Structure 1
Amino acid sequence: MAIQNRDSFLSNLAANLGRPQRRESVSRPEYSVQPQHEVFKDYSAEELIGVLKEHCKVIHTDFVRTDKSDLQATLKRVLDGYEAASIIASNDKRNQEYGLDKAYEEFSKEVDVHIWDASLGKENQVIAERTDVGISFSDITLAESGTVALMTNKDNGRSISLMPKCYVAIIPKETIVPRMTQAAGKIHQDNEKGIAPPSSVCFVTGPSNSADIEMNLIVGVHGPVKVTYIVVD
C-alpha cells in the first residue's frame, strides 16, 4: 500500500522541530542499567506462583490451584460459588488438552453453555453480555501484577473476559513469567518468527475497578465484578 504525502509530511515535521529530516535508521541504545530484567529474574516456577498468589489478594481476585485431572471438579466448584446459570467460553484448542470440552458438555446438563462460535459474529457479544461467567485461557501470566495476557482471535473474543458478570482465567503453570518485560519479549519473539499476531492482546488484572471519584474504590464499573484465577499444574 502506497504512503501518500510522506516526504512532505516528514519535511514539514522536521522543519517545525528545527532540524534536518533524519534519513538513517535509529539503533537501539545499550543501557548500562536495565532493572526491567532483574525483577524476579532468578525465581523458580513455584516462587513465581507464590508471588502471583499474594498479589491476587491485592487485586481482589480469588486464587485456586489444581492439576489437569481435577480441573473439571475445581471449575465446577468455582461456578457453583458464583451461582452461575450460564457460561461462555473460548473455542480454544487447549479445551481438549485440559479436558474442558468434556467438562462443558457435562456442565450443559445444569447450566446454559455457549462456546464462542466465529460463524455467529456479533451474536457472540450479545450472548456474552447476558452471561454470568466467562472462561478462557491465559496465554502469558504476569506474576508481579497478577495480570493475564489474552491473545484474542476469531475463536476467543475479547467479550469473554469483559462482558459477563464474572470471569475465570485458566492459567497453565508454564505461562507464568515475572512481569511485563517477559510478556512483551515473547510477543516480539513470536512476531520475529512470523507467527500470525492476534487481533488484539488484552492485559486483564483482576475484576474491573475504579477509584476516579473521590478515591473511593468501586468494583465492576466496566467489566466483571468477580474474577478467579485457576493455576493448573
Structure 2
Amino acid sequence: MTVSSNKEAFLNTIASKLGRERKTHVQRPVIQDLIPDSYGQLTNDDLVEILKEQCFFIHTQVIESNPEILQRTLDDLIEANGGGIVMTSGDSRFEGYGLAFPEAFVWEEAAGREANIKRAESANTAIIFADCALAESGTVVVESRPDQGRSLHFLPAHYIAVIERQRLVLRSTQAAAAFNRRIQAGEPVGSSINFISGPSNSADIEMKLVVGVHGPLRATYVLI
C-alpha cells in the first residue's frame, strides 16, 4: 500500500468515525480573521505595558533603554550576572548598534556546531536580538540560523534578549502571519522558530515551581 493510499484510508476512517462525509476542498482561512479583537485598538505604548505586566508573572525583568545607552545597559546586566564569558549571536544588529564585549564568543557558522555548543556551555550570559516579541505572553521569537543556533538560547545561565519596540506585537498569530508572508514571498526561514517566555521553569514535582531546571536561571528583556 502506498503512502497516498494510507493517507486516504486514514482520513476516510476519521470521517467515518465523525459521522460525516470527507471534505476534499477546504478553503484556507484568513489568518487575520482568527485573531480575536479582545483588546481593541492598541498603540505601541499599550503593548509595552501589556508586556511588562505579563513579564512580572513569568519571572522576567524588563528594562527600558535606548540605542545611545544600550552598551552601558548591557554591561551593567553582565556585571549583575556575575561577569564571566558572554556569548552573542552573529546578528548584524550588534555591529549596527556599535556593541562590543571584551570577553565574548560569537555564534558563527565557520566555528562549526560542536565548537559553538561548547562555547554556549561555557558562557555565563547569552545576548541576542529578538526577531519578534509577543506582548500578551511575554515571549521572544527567535529563528535558528547559521549565526544563531538553538543552544545559544538554552545553555548559558543568564539570557538577555534585546527587543526593538517596532518588533513588538500582541500575540503569536501575528508573528505566524509575518512568517507566513515571508514564506509566500519565497524568503528563507530558519530551520526552527523558538518561542521563549522567560527563564526555564517546571512545576512537575508536587506542583512546586522551580526556575532554571532545563535552561537559563534568569531572563531579562531590554526594550529599546
TM-score, with structure 1 as normaliser: 0.87
Tell me whether 1:73 sits opposite 2:64 in the alignment. Answer: no
- How far the C-alpha of 1:165 sits from its partner, in A, is 0.4
Residue of structure 2 in register with 1:10 after alignment: 7
Which one is further off, 21-30 or 90-99?
21-30
The answer for the alignment partner of 2:81 in structure 1 is 82
**Aligned equivalents of 2:129 and 2:74: distance in 1?**
13
Partner of 2:62: 63
Deviation at 1:8, TM superposition (A): 2.3
16-25 vs 175-184, which moves further: 16-25
Q: 1:23 Cα shift?
A: 8.0
CA–CA separation in structure 2 for the residues paired with 1:212 and 1:97: 42
Q: C-alpha distance in 2, partners of 1:73/1:118?
A: 28
Alpha-carbon distance between aligned partners in 1 of 2:122 and 2:93, rounded to the nearest angstrom? 25
User: Compared with structure 1, are the counterparts of its residues 45 and 25 closer, same or farther at alpha carbon in structure 2 (3 Å cutoff)?
Assistant: same
Task: Name the counterpart of 2:48.
Answer: 49
Q: Shift of the alpha carbon at 1:84?
A: 1.9
Matches within 5 A, 1:21-170: 24-28=24-28, 36-100=35-99, 103-104=100-101, 108=102, 112-121=103-112, 122-170=114-162
Partner amino acid for 2:108? D
Question: Contact between 1:219 and 1:225, CA under 8 Å: does it hold in 2?
Answer: yes
Q: Sort the Cα spacing of 1:30 and 1:180 in 2 relative to 1 into closer, same or farther, 3 A.
A: closer
Supply the AA of the counterpart residue of 1:27.
Q
Gaps (5+ residues) in structure 1? none
Q: How many angstroms does 1:78 deviate by?
A: 0.6
Query: Which segment is superposed worse, 14-23 or 47-56?
Result: 14-23
In 2, are the aligned partners of 1:161 and 1:167 still within 8 Å (CA)? yes
Question: What residue identity is the alignment partner of 1:140?
Answer: C
TM-score, normalized by length of structure 2? Answer: 0.90
What is the SS of the residue equivalent to 1:37? coil
Identity %: 35
Q: Secondary structure at the match of 2:119?
A: helix
Q: 1:67-88: CA deviations, max 9, x gaps? A: 1011000001111110121010
Deviations 1:109-161 (A, max 9, x none): xxx21011211222101110121001111111000010000011000111111
- The 3 A distance-change label for structure 1 pair 42 and 12 is same
1:41–1:178 Cα contact (<8 Å) kept: no
Moved over 6 A (4+): none
Aligned counterparts of 1:179 and 1:17: Cα–Cα separation in 2: 32
Work out the CA distance in 2 between the residues paired with 1:210 and 1:186: 30
Name the count of aligned residue pairs.
219
**2:15–2:21: 8 Å Cα contact kept in structure 1?**
no
Q: CA RMSD in A?
A: 2.2
Question: 1:179 — aligned with what?
Answer: 171
Match for residue 188 of structure 2 among 161, 186, 196: 196
Q: CA deviation at 1:45?
A: 0.4
